[in-house]
Amino acid sequence: MTDEIGVDSYTSPPETLLDVPFVPTDENVVEAMLNLGAVGPNDVLYDLGSGDGRILISAARNRDTTGIGVDLDPERIADAMEEAGWAGVQFLVDFIEDDIFTVDISAATVVTLYLLEMVNLELRPRLLSELRPGTRIISHAFGMGDWKPDDWREMSGVNIYKWIVPAQIAGIWEWERLDGRLYRIDLQQDFQEITGTAWLDGEKAILESADLQGARLEVTLRENSTAAQDSFTLHFKNNELHSVKTATPPKA
């Protein structure tokens, strides 16, 4: 997350206003953001616009999380490194002087932001294309336009948002049921929202639900309105269907 509101220290597209004051994030909000992101010792946390580094330092000190802070202000980078040293977490975190619009973020499992919504929107294409499916994005106060959050919390009158980067799964996918019959689905995608059409052995079937979280799609289908439900978990990798698991049917 950034410890400042906006991008006064970043290079950015010409239409982005840079005249925004530094606003440190309240420690209670920091903790709420890390909780919403379920940040832990196995994560790599990137804070885009890291300011004084308090998000990364808190995650490293209390959760053993490694991370990278990105800011273009060398004074803030120096301050953050000094604070990390005082906290004894300098071996877990690093702060780099770089541009949030061009820095490599592909290693992140969690990204934190405290930027204006117009800046979030400028970043959104990079977040969707360069982060791995399943990466969590946590934003203090500002949304992502028409990309609806997967979860959110209110803290002292301020909203905190969470998105899970979705795999790109629009297209036609096929797999066999345990009895050898062939399901086929044609999916349309709007971020994590999935709609589509289904067939079973070439006959129109019913796609009752489709829930995408990262690279995992939970689907529920029926052969017809009176048939029992079929539930499957589809896992995608590199924009291809990687595996299909049949859910255990509910007991009658």
Task: Assess if residue 203 is contained within a domain.
Answer: yes
pLDDT digits (tens, 9 = 90+) for 133-180: 999 999 999 999 999 999 999 988 899 999 999 999 999 999 999 999
Structural domain tally of the chain? Answer: 2
Is 137 in contact with 113 (CB distance < 8 Å)?
yes
* pTM summary value: 0.89
pLDDT digits (tens, 9 = 90+) for 60-77: 999 999 999 999 999 999
For the chain, percent of residues with pLDDT exceeding 70:
88
Strand, coil or helix: what is 251?
coil
Of 164, 192, 216, which residue constitutes the final position of a domain?
164
Same domain for 121 and 219:
no
For the record, the structure tokens of 15 come out as 């239409």
Same domain for 189 and 90:
no
Of 106, 140, 164, which residue constitutes the final position of a domain?
164
- DSSP designation for 91: T
Range of the domain at 67: 27-164
For the chain, percent of residues with pLDDT exceeding 90:
85
Mean pLDDT of the chain: 91
Asked if pLDDT for residue 21 goes beyond 80, the answer is no
Same domain for 123 and 103:
yes
Say what the pLDDT of residue 247 is.
Answer: 85
